[in-house]
Structure 1
């Protein structure tokens, strides 16, 4: 959209900003429209706040925590004019962001919501009792500066792995002997998981059948699956990143849990590119069960188990708001994996708490160019951080808290 369409427009580079850095941009004034709108002054305002809302029965409580409140006066009537032959005046501005800001964030659940919102707003002041000021707002994406995450990012390729596991006994029906299934999940042994980088991982699934004689074991049909059978494809595994949000709004508190990223299986978007998954399946192995000092039995009578193993190797990239805590909002993350097996109630589940950091120590310029935003427009969301559409909707009710009367 041409800047001349509106009296006031904002031009801000599309970036993911780091706390402690600068936000630079331009206010574009169209003097032909400026005169028609009777605008006498133009201010630029940087605002940031955390906001929570919790409903109990018929009572709703809302609390706001200010994070940034900065104003700049960039133009007043008679102070500056466009160059001869032009109606357009460009006015540069910049703000310095405070250190230790929480990340841009928005969550909405049943009878509760929480958000951390940042924006730059250009305000055209129109004196008079019944004259509404002109406002043009651009949401910003801000992440905490993270030296630790930068160190982890650099060390990631050479980091050793740590392994967590879960193991359970299971049987196909209500009766019968139990088999065993085990999930081993391995990922870098680091204190935090940084955003925007490839994090390698490995999923190993080992199953052991119920004990049976060698004669019965080798009499089983060659094509018949052994119970419990490991998954035959990575699409059979549900693997996702989840968030738990603790919310406080005055005397009310609430907890919400949500899925924020799907890595494997259910919920993944087939239209989006995903890292390749390498599968390694081993042939089943017969393992005799023999107690110490037990006398050898005839081969057909010897009891044992079939052991089956499969391994999946890939990488994941996290692009969601990192773990953080403010006076009103506390977020935590965990990786959740579910591997289904035949029978009732035989799903094997693994939950791994993780801390996610921004992994950046400076603002990140995005590939797309900065867009000029006119009154009532909303810029396209940057592709590098996953935020809900409401974050970019400048008419959303959460943003209305920034509409001061001044």
Structure 2
């Protein structure tokens, strides 16, 4: 569950951490009223669950009198991850220096990343001066103790009066990270004022949605707070219908995936990446009555503007008939008016009622149904080749 900044900062503020005062607004007039109450300079931020908004014109620092106009320029704007329906109005913070801090997970352990050079150019820092970024694992049993955080910031080049305060703040943020069942927490910038006092100006937070039973206040959030419109739609359909879970997580590639089977789905994803392909999403689907949950994932794939092709890649189905998956595909293709001649669809789908599934796919037309016995690796190779062919054709059309 990716949280928007107003929700993330509200949660972190409960731990007594230094978060600037701010509130959400869904109209330009309300944004103007909030800014007038804060006075001075304010930040207007589009409430979308993503970072790097500053480079997209979705964060503006303005005087209180200009806040309404700045909010009006963002509200209603369509972006790759959804429409801007609300903005966050935040009291301006004094920023003399920008640091970077993030907690995340590797394959096995939680990780802490810090940098003495935070701000909107953090990717450039990572690419050009990686020595300015320090990443270490955190022992989940010992946790992060203040003196360890201070030593880490010292390695990152932080010196002087702020060192101890930032180190202690980092240890407290670790406690919040654990208490919130977070999967990712990014503070960028972690701002220092002229006296070296830290303030959490930019905050992103992702919560493990499997832990929501421990956070009833989060479970009650409006669906719009979690993910982009396609992710939210799949989540809403999943909750509204009985049976196994359907999950859809959007990525920045162009290969749509309807994969299932847990490990088999992850394996196909990794195979595609190893071949140079870029998944547009990941999915995981358990058997459930009817086709509505599968159709929701397919609708999300087909309405993702980055997706250029689709791999339907299941392991051998035992608990569900194969033709139900193809029935869902046919319904979604027709509903979304997909031209299968331009949007390649490859099926690696074997199991009960496979003959009926192949007949349904043939009626749809333009779908490649791989022969029985085709390996997971061959399916991955086929969709990567298809994505490259579509990209090449689109590039030719653009230059013609």
TM-score norm. by structure 2 comes to 0.20
Higher relative contact order (CA 8 A, sep 6+): 1
TM-score norm. by structure 1 comes to 0.20
